[in-house]
Amino acid sequence: MVRMFDWWFRIRFWKRVVLGFVLGALAGWRFGADAERWFGPIGDLYVTLIMMIAVPLVFFAVINAVASLSGQKSIAALAGRTFLWFALTAVLAVGVGLLFGWLVQPGAGVGVLKVASDYTPKDVPGALDMLLNLVPANPFQALGGAASAKLADGTKVLVPRSGTVLQVIFFAGLVGFAMVKLGEKVAGVRKLVGEASEVMIQVTRYVLEFTPFGTFGLIAALVGGYGFEQLRPLLNFVVALYLACAFHIVVVYGGLLLAHGLNPLKFFRGAAPGMQVGFVASSSFAALPVSLRSATHNLGVDKDYAAFAVPLGATIKMDGCGAIYPALAAVFISQYAGIELSLTQYLIIALASVLGSFGTAGVPGTAVIMATVVLSAAGLPLEVIGYLYAIDRVLDMMRTMTNVTGQMLVPVLVARETGLLDKGVFDAASSNVGVVDGDAADRDAGQAG
């Protein structure tokens, strides 16, 4: 069966996704509101497939990673280095958000804005609540911790239900450490977990082949059902956000790669599948399986370290939603309201953005929560969130792509520093996370990537 579609699998993965994007945009433009009804279910099916594999993939991968890394590298040292890079890149992202707020002046000359009719204020969870929520009261319930839901505009998204990915990581980590402690007594279980992890990787390969079709459905529904007239009053803000995120990805991330002796073009080529899925699905969680596959298969990050770092990044590494967007929103509302920000307020915005992005991990609507936290800390009116909510879906595409890129970048940097990066794989820079099976898939990836 696979042989019949060799021609399709030999097309680079990112090209197939771009084709789905373009055709989806054309279908949405051609069929208008009907595109949501006709093509939306294709995108919904793709989101459901991703939801199906994400939690078991993370669960088995983290257990296997902890059991394997304990004999190679200090897990604590790797975790500390990873968190440090999460924080450093978040600080840089806040600076980029503020910079483009000054350059583009998105809040200047804007007419009177109305709060989006479907906006409801978000409750910001306390720091203690978030910390306690890391521990699942029922690990089996946490493993069922994601569900699909629809936003007011009909967009289907993934949201935490009874638990979060962080809870899954916490429980899986404990199981992994227990296996290390018990040693040869559980050799059979350790082997079984490793085999289960490989099975989930293969299932992930199969699901990822549906990405071009899912992209088609998601984009067709978005273009057909979204009223682009909503963008006009806030077009400058959209432009500012897209420019800021593009600058952060290309210049900041590219500079960090060069500083580590790595070719940025190779990185972006290998990371392209994850970036594309993040953009069209607007969910780091939805992009997690392809991000993990890209980090290991395309970029050469040690699979055990990646199994820990990438899922962690998908929950707390939010340069787009947690740093650039809140900083830019703060500048926007200050310009719109004619409020002159003081140096102290700028520092508060930066600190709240960096710390808040860790504190709101796993909360649905992270960007809105983060903007609420930052504006409250800086003493700015919260109405800005209601103004921007009407165009949030368009903003979220670029924010999430930035998040996902950073979630792959940091493991690459840390792997490079600790000897866990296969430079040969990185330099080969396959852009195909495709999924035929075994060696045939890798050969095709090499030819097509």
Closest by CA to 153, choosing from 397, 389, 361, is: 389
Residue 275 carries which side chain, given as an amino acid letter? M
Closest by CA to 53, choosing from 282, 268, 209, 270, is: 209
Contact 101, 332 (CB under 8 A): yes
Q: What residues of the chain score a pLDDT lower than 70?
A: 1-6, 9, 69-73, 109, 111-133, 145-164, 226-232, 356-366, 431-449
DSSP state of 3: G
Q: Which residue carries 């808040």 as its tokens? A: 356
Closest by CA to 198, choosing from 56, 321, 41, 395, is: 56
Q: What is the pLDDT of residue 216?
A: 92
Cα gap 400→245, rounded to integer Å: 10
> Which residues, in sequence order, are CB contacts of 88 under 8 Å at separation 6+?
none
Q: What is the pLDDT of residue 206?
A: 84
Measured in residues, the chain has a length of 449
Q: What is the pLDDT of residue 285?
A: 79
Residue 432 DSSP SS3: coil
Cα gap 142→136, rounded to integer Å: 6
Q: What is the pLDDT of residue 267?
A: 96
Contact 318, 370 (CB under 8 A): yes
Contact 57, 201 (CB under 8 A): yes
Q: What is the pLDDT of residue 111?
A: 60
| Helices and strands in the chain: count of H runs, count of E runs | 21, 2
Cα gap 317→300, rounded to integer Å: 20
Contacts 24+ apart (CB under 8 A), 59-62: 59/143, 59/168, 59/171, 59/172, 60/172, 60/193, 60/196, 60/197, 60/200, 61/197, 61/200, 61/201, 61/292, 61/303, 61/307, 61/311, 62/168, 62/169, 62/172, 62/173, 62/176, 62/307, 62/308, 62/311
Q: What is the pLDDT of residue 59?
A: 87
Q: What is the pLDDT of residue 148?
A: 47
